[in-house]
C-alpha cells in the first residue's frame, strides 16, 4: 500500500489528508480490501495537491465517504457480482453520512480529480481489463481497442500514457497504477 509520504502531500494539507485516510483505511480494512485502501490513499493524495486543496474545507468524514463512493462508482462496487461489493446503503451505514451528501461529494471529487471510466488511474486491476473505455485509442482518425493493435503500436500507446500497460505483456506485478 502506498504510504502518505510517497504522495507528495503539502505540509499544510497533511493533517486533513491524514484525517480522511484514517477513515478510508478503517472502512476498507473492515469492509472492503487493501486495493480499495490504496486507491483511496492515491485519490486523497491527488486532492491534497490541488491548489487550493478542497480537503481543507468541510467535514473529513464526508470527504472520506465521497472518496470511497467515487472510487466505488468507477469500480462497480454496487454490482453484486464484483468482489468486494457493497450497496450505497451499506456505505452510508459504515460512514455515517447521508446518501445525498456522499453522492454530491463524490461528484465534486470526480470533477476535481478527473476520475472517470476513461481514466485507468483509479481503476482496480481486476476491473481495468473489463472496462473497455480505458483501452480506446485513436489511430489514423479511427478509434480502436489498443488490446487488438500490433505490439509496436501497443508499446507506443503505453509510452504516450494512453493505455495503462502493454496488453500483450500484461500488468506487471508490483508495478504502481498509472499516474
Q: What is the third-level CATH fold of 4-114?
A: Cyclin A; domain 1 (1.10.472)
DSSP H stretches of helix in 49-172:
60-74, 88-95, 99-113, 125-128, 151-159
Tell me the whole-structure pTM to 2 decimals.
0.80
Locus of grid cell 468541510 = 58
User: Taking the domains of the chain in order of start, what are their residue ranges?
Assistant: 4-114, 129-179
Banded pLDDT at 27 (limits 50, 70, 90): very high
Distance from first CA to last CA of the chain, Å, rounded?
Answer: 15
Share above pLDDT 70 across residues of the chain, in percent, rounded to a whole number: 93
102-150 residue pLDDT tens = 999 999 999 999 898 767 788 888 777 777 677 888 888 888 888 888 8
Amino acid at each position: 500500500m502506498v504510504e502518505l509520504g510517497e504522495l507528495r502531500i503539502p505540509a499544510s494539507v497533511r493533517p486533513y489528508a491524514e484525517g480522511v485516510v484514517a477513515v478510508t483505511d478503517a472502512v476498507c480494512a473492515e469492509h472492503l480490501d487493501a486495493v480499495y485502501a490504496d486507491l483511496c490513499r492515491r485519490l486523497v493524495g491527488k486532492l491534497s495537491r490541488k491548489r487550493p486543496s478542497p480537503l481543507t474545507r468541510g467535514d473529513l468524514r464526508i470527504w472520506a465517504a465521497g472518496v470511497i463512493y467515487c472510487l466505488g462508482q468507477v469500480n462497480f462496487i454496487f454490482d453484486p457480482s464484483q468482489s468486494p461489493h457493497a450497496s450505497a446503503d451499506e456505505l452510508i451505514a459504515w460512514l455515517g453520512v447521508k446518501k445525498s451528501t456522499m453522492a454530491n461529494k463524490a461528484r465534486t471529487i470526480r470533477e476535481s480529480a478527473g476520475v472517470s471510466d476513461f481514466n485507468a488511474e483509479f481503476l482496480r486491476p481486476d476491473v481495468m481489463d473489463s472496462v473497455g473505455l480505458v483501452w480506446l485509442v485513436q489511430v489514423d482518425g479511427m478509434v480502436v481497442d489498443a488490446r487488438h493493435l500490433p505490439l509496436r503500436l501497443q508499446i507506443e500507446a503505453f509510452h504516450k500514457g494512453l493505455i495503462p500497460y502493454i496488453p500483450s505483456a500484461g500488468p506487471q506485478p508490483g508495478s504502481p497504477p498509472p499516474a
